[in-house]
Amino acid sequence: MAETLAPADEDKSAAPPPERSSARMIVVVAVVVAVAGAAALAVGTRQQGTVEATEAPGFALPSIEDDGTTVSLDMRDGRPAVVNFFASWCAPCRRELPLFAEASRRLEGEVTFLGVAHQDDAELAKQMLDDFDITYPAGNDPAGDVARAYLLRGMPSTAFVAADGTLVGVAAGELDASELGDWIERLVAA
């Protein structure tokens, strides 16, 4: 008895027709894009938390005043410090700066406030601080090295450094008055 062979186009193990393959590929790409988008949103959302007691990374940056002075974490002189990372291109930074200006005036002599202009033009950063009457020292970090040392993931971000130099925590994202007050309370108590 002779065997009958099925023609090649009827072989069930062959690849699906191109239109089904294309549809699957579109679905796979859509899923990958959705997952990547969700990950990007998660990174961009506010992350706040304390960290294990580690020494805060030191830094020394040229002042955005362009007067030859250096802004460093050593300027805290044994006091707790609030280090705010900002940029003139960052809208949330603009919204929170008045809170930092008010807190720095209210806590002068008790808590040191420092600014770090992150990947910004020094002149634009200086103008922004002038617009909000920020009088505390701010350094220029055009390459973003200090933010990398603090493992920051977005702007604005604020590091809270205890009087003994340990990093109490980092707040990523725009702070409101209540949140800033809570962080400063924790900082002073550390």
**pLDDT at residue 44 above 90?**
no
Structure tokens at 148: 């990398």
CATH number, span 48-189: 3.40.30.10
Q: What percent of the chain has pLDDT over 90?
A: 69
8 A C-beta contact, residue 85 and residue 116:
yes
- What is the average per-residue pLDDT within 104-122? 96
Pick the range with the lowest mean pLDDT from 2-6, 33-37, 130-134, 151-155.
Answer: 33-37
Structure tokens at 16: 């699906």
* pLDDT tens column, 137-168: 999 999 999 999 999 989 999 999 999 999 99
Q: In the chain, where are the structural domains located?
A: 48-189
Rounded distance between C-alpha atoms, residue 186 and residue 178, angstroms: 12
Strand partners, 116: 85, 139
Q: How confident is the model at residue 66 (pLDDT cuts 50, 70, 90)?
A: confident
**pLDDT at residue 130 above 70?**
yes
Please give the C-alpha separations between residue 173 and each of 54, 98, 125, 135, 156, in angstroms, as whole numbers. Answer: 22, 15, 18, 22, 5
Q: What is residue 5's predicted lDDT score, i.e. its pLDDT? A: 42
Rounded distance between C-alpha atoms, residue 124 and residue 93, angstroms: 13
